[in-house]
Structure 1
Amino acid sequence: MPHRHLLSPITLRAIHLPNRMIMGSMHLGFEGLPDAWPRLAAFYAERARGGIGLIVTGGVAPNEQGNFGPDGTVLTSEAELPGHQLITQAVHREGGRIIMQILHCGRYSRMKDIVAPSAIRAPINSATPRELTDAEIVQTVADYANCARLALLAGYDGVEVMASEGYLINEFLAPRTNKRTDRWGGDLHGRMRFLVEIVRAVRQALGEAKMMSVRLSMVDLVEDGLSADEVVAVAQAIEIEGCDLINSGIGWHEARVPTIAHTVPQGVWSWATARVKAAVKIPVAASNRIKTPDLAESLIAEGQCDLVSMARPLLADPAFAAKVARGEASTINACIGCNQGCLDPIFSGGAATCLVNPRAGREGEFMARPPCETKRIAVVGGGPAGLACALEAAKRGHAVTLFDAAPQLGGQFILAQTVPGKEEYAATPAYYAQALTQAGVTLRLGRAAAASDLTGFERIVLATGIRPRKLDLPGADHPKVVGYEDILSGAKRAGARVAIMGAGGIGFDVALTLVGEDHEADFNAQWGIDRAFTHRGALAEPSAPPPPKRAITMLQRKPDRPGASLGKTTGWIHKAHLQRHHVDMLAGVTYRRIDDAGLHVTLNGEDRLIEADTIVVCIGQEPRRDLADELKALGRDVQLIGGARDASKLDALAAFEEGTRLGLAL
């Protein structure tokens, strides 16, 4: 049987799991809103319906000081139980199992009076924490136990103690943040006392029937983090105290090593989990960049872990586990690791959803209802907006025909998947190609749709996308000037000296593509990760990059820092990678002309020549509306969506949502 290890049951304490798939904890960003509890209940219920073995909630603070901030959740009294009971009842009605994560944010909190083991400010927080007193630490341990007791009253099947990612417990464990000389600091025995006391108290509060997971940092990826032997010693200590499952955490939020973005190889952290699994007798779950059933199966089969924890893949497809169980893994709507719909909004104060599944976190908004009357609908354009619209309309019963001039579906995703690190973007067009066929959509690919092709359709939706904005500059027609599509598609090769006009998302994609030709095969060496774990935090000196094949200069008119518009959780990775390869980035330039010498600009009031053999134009897009104008002249009603409606911001997140909403409304 395919995926037989992944689908094998397991019992944790008295909680029976039908498979080895866990939905890992994630903060959703709407926990503080008035409608939070019904939304959370609907969100988790859909994942339970989708067959996931175990759900772990987003972090719930055991006291006010540990809260995320205004958008966080605390559980300190029975008065707060009704909302949690909505969640547990909804999950249990679907036959699911759910545990509540208890998380004290420590110095990462956005509350006013933040606390930590020592008064050391986190690099990602502007506030300096106050050092906890001995009495406050003892009270915090009691708060964890009280929170666990209340979780049982709320109907949860157990709790997870969050001891990873640089939050309070992790701060006590690491010399980096624990400078105490009392019984809660010093050697490892003192530094792990806080966690051990919490696990002991929580175990007592839970009793013998309910399970306890501890999310433990397998590798901190920060200076003065835990050593290899210390990670194992902590794992063994919490096993003795009654932990039933060790869930993997990888890296602190302040670490300058990427851990879950699409540039991180899948399964790259399994070695850290395997070290702990080999040292304990209780089950251990692997996490971070495990997104396919095949990878999850192989990790368990090879003995590197007992279960797998996945968060974002369950945003992308809540029926992930059920599809694996039915032998339909090929139909999973795969997470592409972009972070555009989930982590980027969360770290910018917004709410999480998913680029490839706009329903995520908003299940009540996207209700599919049969239309009053089925119609023949033409959707022109096979990019994100057109794909989403066509699929939703067809699933509701409409007769849909999808036209696209390209021989394959995907639109801008066809280019995106050529960028090094974005190869996973290919999964989305592949998913839609299969889903559209199953929904009965007729595909007309490889030829641009003409107005005459659209006669007989009762509704016409134009998702014809964008075209690159033309360069209006003396010398714009010079042979060395190329468009970004030429480079990303491989139609043209760049010379030894390259000037990229534009430092937005597409400009960075071009630079990453050109730099990507200087291939760096070893992710660990590139980012200075020591798999031998000979140093604290498993950090080493990054390897030297290969000599660059090109001199690349990125330029933008805006005076802002280049890359400022990139995703909050991925932009820094791209910038660091380009800086490593000596890509020069200039802001606040005025373009003057192009000639045989290169690109002439003005920078800081001075004229400057950017010597270039190739000049790549990435200065924005315009809506592609030729067909719309033709149809309107014939008196036909058309509806524009995606880039065809508004190309001012090329945004796949908005395009998928817009297409989905229209497909549900037609």
Structure 2
Amino acid sequence: MSFPRLLSPLQLRSIRLPNRMIMGSMHLGFESAPDAFPRLAHFYAERAKGGIGLIVTGGVAPNPEGSFGPDGTVLANESQLDGHRLITDMVHAEGGRIAMQILHCGRYGKHPDIVAPSAIRAPISSIVPREMTEADILGTIAQYGRTAALAAQAGYDGVEVMASEGYLINEFLALRTNKRTDRWGGDLDGRMRFLLDIVRSVRGGIGPDLLMSARLSMVDLVEDGLAADEVVTVAKALEAEGVDIINSGIGWHEARVPTIAHTVPQGAWSWATARVKAAVGIPVAASNRIKSPELAEALLERGEADLVSMARPLLADPAFAAKVRDGRAESINACIGCNQGCLDPIFSGASATCLVNPRAGREIRFKASPSLAVKSIAVVGGGPAGMSCALEAARRGHQVTLFEAADELGGQFTLARQVPGKEEYLATPRYYASELAAAGANIRLGHTATTAELKDFDQVVLAAGIRPRRLDLPGADLPLVASYDDILSGRRQGGERVAILGSGGVGFDVALALLGEHEPFYDAWGIDRSFATPGGLRPAATAPAPPRRITMMQRKTERPGGSLGKTTGWIHKATLQRRGVEMLSGVTYERIDPSGIHILFNNEARLVEVDTIVVCIGQEPRRDLLAELIANGKPVHLIGGAREAARLDALAAFEEGTRLGLAL
């Protein structure tokens, strides 16, 4: 497939973009680390080398009040420029273009000195912000201009003004958070005064030649957010003030609507961007859940946007744009929307990376070099750990043979095909299969390795994964009992009444698989694409009757789903609750008989009558060959689930396999 629109250049003042692909702003979680600027410079330079049209940095605050907190950055004086110059120099050396985003967090800051247009606490924060005075407002506007001027001095090709996702400027725009009665509140003219004065200040700081983008919420997805005509009015005002690009933001961080998780349809928000594009003459960028060049090209062809902004797809594959340009789009390592490597760590105080590309954010430490001594290496197991280890080792010149007992690569990843919304996970094993073949690895599918055939290899990597832990309970061998891989592999279908033992990630996947296809996304989450009410919300549709009755239970007394991802767990819990799944905690399993499972719950005996019991109580490492290999004196490396099976952790498995492959 060709991509003529995606690859067409665009001139913005003195800056020429070679294509219509933007890397959207991302907070990476190491911005305040001692080695932050070298890490950031290598991170952005890798994406510039990969051909992306324009890079937008993570948010940089114009003053301390506007920073994220301990993990945020501020650019307020010339003494802070050296690190930024390192970034721009390295990006420009790779032929790239980079704009610095200026972001004031407002009431989303994680420190006690946060400010906002009105003293209203955010639902996702415990801190009540201080209401900004007139002097605060005027000072902040001036500080935006100062930071913009410093960005120009640092060599950035432009700046982006962050006015979406519920941060400070968005808080001024929306009646939800702006209750002021002075000239900075009231009608829309008053509420957007802060934004427009900032835009003027920023333009004064960067001068007439550098580009300016403004990231505007296309739809807020919160009550008392901007109305449809207000979004368009703000966009037109930005155009009149000389903004060069309007970049799309979708939803506030406090919105109870998923916007970028894998459960969100790809391209789900293009309708909101299209409304703004139709109203203005400057380029408009679509964003959120645009992960393939095919979809990006289609959006441009339909006239719904002029550019596409992709953040996480550039974590997964920094060479995304170059592969599109060079006719190698099929070799893109696709983002799977899992959030496990990027957003979840950020919200846990760690640094972002990528589950399918552990090098992301670690470009300095994860450097591959050709092997000085070529070895013959056997990798036993083609799951995440085995695939990633085999690929890195083969790329470095080792002679690699990968043994996989199943008929396809992927290990536990292949079970995702049964979970609605996770179908795109299968793109990862397809990518690894293609790259392993290109690197010269010998892949032996449907083959269970034996110690006899491993004896002639220089080194053996055991990455055989896990097996489901068996249930030790009277009646556990009855026909109504199934393991989770029976259900997720499609070997068993489950009856009309199902009990799921275990409420971790696997248990939730089983429940979602048994419920079948998701109901229509916009209906389930109450999203009004007609935008008839401010914020773009409407009551959710009545949930369809579930195809079976499901009861989830766990021995732990904590709420079910406590171990799920921070940014996706609430989505899965809300979905199951909406579909009528019963969830029990603090359960004691007594016995199983043909009628179901007998339990103690709230100190009362109870029979849960079911047709199928699905066991999701954990995993055990698969180490069948280990003892004999060690006895034979063979060097063995144990990685992934075969090393640690306490819980399924693809993020750790990919990283562990990558590290070993780079070290062999």
Query: Paired residue for 2:578?
Result: 580
Matched, 1:477 2:477: yes
**CA offsets per residue over residues 435-491 of structure 1, 9 Å max, x none?**
000000001111211112213111111100000001100111111100101111111
- Which amino acid in the other structure matches residue 514 of structure 1? L
CA distance in 2, matches of 1:565, 1:545: 26
Query: Paired residue for 1:3?
Result: 3
Query: Paired residue for 1:356?
Result: 356
CA distance in 1, matches of 2:180, 2:455: 77
Matched, 1:250 2:243: no
Query: Paired residue for 2:419?
Result: 419
- Which amino acid in the other structure matches residue 41 of structure 1? A
Query: Shift of residue 140 of structure 1?
Result: 0.6
Query: Paired residue for 1:597?
Result: 595
CA distance in 1, matches of 2:636, 2:148: 56
Query: Shift of residue 629 of structure 1?
Result: 2.2
**CA offsets per residue over residues 352-411 of structure 1, 9 Å max, x none?**
000000010011111111222101110010000000000000000000000000010000
- Which amino acid in the other structure matches residue 573 of structure 1? I
Query: Shift of residue 191 of structure 1?
Result: 0.5
Of 408-417 and 48-57, more deviation after overlay is shown by 408-417
CA distance in 1, matches of 2:204, 2:49: 31
Query: Paired residue for 2:383?
Result: 383
Secondary structure of the residue that 2:308 maps to in structure 1? strand
Query: Paired residue for 2:71?
Result: 71
Query: Paired residue for 1:540?
Result: 538
Matched, 1:164 2:164: yes
- Which amino acid in the other structure matches residue 631 of structure 2? A
Deviation >4 Å, runs of 4+? none
Gaps of 5+ in 1: none
CA distance in 1, matches of 2:138, 2:637: 62
- Which amino acid in the other structure matches residue 48 of structure 2? A
CA distance in 2, matches of 1:285, 1:525: 26
- Which amino acid in the other structure matches residue 147 of structure 1? T
CA distance in 2, matches of 1:526, 1:603: 31
CA distance in 2, matches of 1:416, 1:631: 32
Matched, 1:524 2:522: yes
Question: What does 1:110-509 align with in structure 2 at a 5 Å threshold?
Answer: 110-509=110-509
Query: Paired residue for 1:630?
Result: 628
Query: Shift of residue 515 of structure 1?
Result: 1.3
Query: Shift of residue 603 of structure 1?
Result: 1.5
CA distance in 2, matches of 1:545, 1:583: 12
CA distance in 2, matches of 1:106, 1:631: 59
- Which amino acid in the other structure matches residue 220 of structure 1? D
Secondary structure of the residue that 2:25 maps to in structure 1? coil
Query: Shift of residue 348 of structure 1?
Result: 1.1
Of 448-457 and 647-656, more deviation after overlay is shown by 448-457
**CA offsets per residue over residues 622-656 of structure 1, 9 Å max, x none?**
00011112322333231111000111121000000
**CA offsets per residue over residues 123-179 of structure 1, 9 Å max, x none?**
000000010011110111101111100100111001000000000000000000000
Secondary structure of the residue that 1:601 maps to in structure 2? strand
Please report the TM-score for the alignment, with normalisation by the length of structure 1.
0.99
Secondary structure of the residue that 1:86 maps to in structure 2? helix
Secondary structure of the residue that 1:630 maps to in structure 2? helix
Query: Shift of residue 500 of structure 1?
Result: 0.2
Query: Shift of residue 418 of structure 1?
Result: 2.2
CA distance in 1, matches of 2:52, 2:619: 41
Secondary structure of the residue that 1:538 maps to in structure 2? coil
Secondary structure of the residue that 1:543 maps to in structure 2? coil
Query: Paired residue for 2:558?
Result: 560
Pick aligned residue for 2:659 from 645, 658, 661: 661
**CA offsets per residue over residues 52-104 of structure 1, 9 Å max, x none?**
00000000000000000101000000111111111001101101000000000
Secondary structure of the residue that 1:363 maps to in structure 2? coil
CA distance in 2, matches of 1:636, 1:501: 40
Of 224-233 and 595-604, more deviation after overlay is shown by 595-604
**CA offsets per residue over residues 511-570 of structure 1, 9 Å max, x none?**
0101125x52x2111110000000010001111111112111101111111001000000
CA distance in 1, matches of 2:661, 2:631: 25
Secondary structure of the residue that 1:663 maps to in structure 2? helix
Q: Give percent identity, aligned residues only.
A: 72
CA distance in 1, matches of 2:605, 2:372: 65
Query: Shift of residue 312 of structure 1?
Result: 0.2
CA distance in 1, matches of 2:558, 2:15: 53
Query: Shift of residue 12 of structure 1?
Result: 1.2
Query: Shift of residue 296 of structure 1?
Result: 0.3
Query: Paired residue for 1:550?
Result: 548
- Which amino acid in the other structure matches residue 113 of structure 2? D
Checking the alignment, whether the CA contact within 8 Å between 2:458 and 2:635 is kept in structure 1 is no
CA distance in 2, matches of 1:199, 1:434: 47
- Which amino acid in the other structure matches residue 557 of structure 1? R
- Which amino acid in the other structure matches residue 158 of structure 2? G
CA distance in 2, matches of 1:607, 1:62: 61
CA distance in 2, matches of 1:615, 1:561: 21
CA distance in 1, matches of 2:547, 2:2: 44
Of 54-63 and 108-117, more deviation after overlay is shown by 108-117
- Which amino acid in the other structure matches residue 558 of structure 2? D
CA distance in 1, matches of 2:249, 2:547: 37
- Which amino acid in the other structure matches residue 551 of structure 2? T
- Which amino acid in the other structure matches residue 321 of structure 1? A
Of 605-614 and 568-577, more deviation after overlay is shown by 605-614
Query: Shift of residue 428 of structure 1?
Result: 0.1
CA distance in 2, matches of 1:459, 1:609: 52
Secondary structure of the residue that 1:309 maps to in structure 2? strand
Gaps of 5+ in 2: none
Checking the alignment, whether the CA contact within 8 Å between 2:459 and 2:634 is kept in structure 1 is no
**CA offsets per residue over residues 246-289 of structure 1, 9 Å max, x none?**
00000000000000000000001000000000000000000000
Checking the alignment, whether the CA contact within 8 Å between 2:455 and 2:634 is kept in structure 1 is no
Query: Paired residue for 2:37?
Result: 37
CA distance in 2, matches of 1:631, 1:79: 58
- Which amino acid in the other structure matches residue 604 of structure 1? N
CA RMSD of aligned residues (A): 0.8
Please report the TM-score for the alignment, with normalisation by the length of structure 2.
0.99
- Which amino acid in the other structure matches residue 621 of structure 1? Q
CA distance in 2, matches of 1:634, 1:76: 63
Secondary structure of the residue that 2:82 maps to in structure 1? helix
Secondary structure of the residue that 1:111 maps to in structure 2? coil
Pick aligned residue for 2:618 from 617, 620, 625: 620
Checking the alignment, whether the CA contact within 8 Å between 2:640 and 2:656 is kept in structure 1 is yes
CA distance in 2, matches of 1:286, 1:559: 44
CA distance in 1, matches of 2:449, 2:168: 58
CA distance in 2, matches of 1:44, 1:624: 39
- Which amino acid in the other structure matches residue 445 of structure 2? L
CA distance in 2, matches of 1:365, 1:377: 23
CA distance in 2, matches of 1:653, 1:392: 16
- Which amino acid in the other structure matches residue 43 of structure 1? F
Query: Paired residue for 2:607?
Result: 609
